[in-house]
Amino acid sequence: MDRKPKAEQPGARENSAASVGTQIVSLFLAAMLQWATVLVVCPRLHELIHHDADDEHHDCAVTLFLAGQVEQPVVDPIVFTQPALVDVPLDQSCDTRSYGSFFLNCRLLEHAPPRQS
């Protein structure tokens, strides 16, 4: 049988620097998510890390978990009170004459079809 080495097979994935970097970042983010979950479960541990953890104005990832805002944090909406004014010149410097139909000027219907003998 003709077996190719694993690196030559189509679909074989190389461990390049980019994929290793992506794996490291994803593992780091997963570890931080687990750490935030542990701090939610253990409020005393959270107080050891943040000295103002029991303050009502304390905001961090743990308080977002506790408030149930993991998927969508509270963000103030951006409101425009007045529309933006844009100066648009309304002068009509272009020629607005009509030149008629293009196809009628080509005289497509001027000649009859050829005679059949």
What 8-state DSSP symbol labels residue 9? S
pLDDT, the chain, mean: 76
Where does the pLDDT of residue 73 fall: very low under 50, low under 70, confident under 90, or very high at 90 and above? low
What's the CA gap between 55 and 34, in Å, rounded?
23
Q: Tens digit of pLDDT for each residue in 43-68?
A: 888 888 888 877 888 888 888 887 77
pTM of this prediction? 0.45
> Which pLDDT value is given to residue 4?
57
User: What amino acid is encoded at 70 in this protein?
Assistant: V
d(CA 39, CA 28): 16
- How many residues appear in the chain? 117
Tokens 């007045």 identify what position? 82
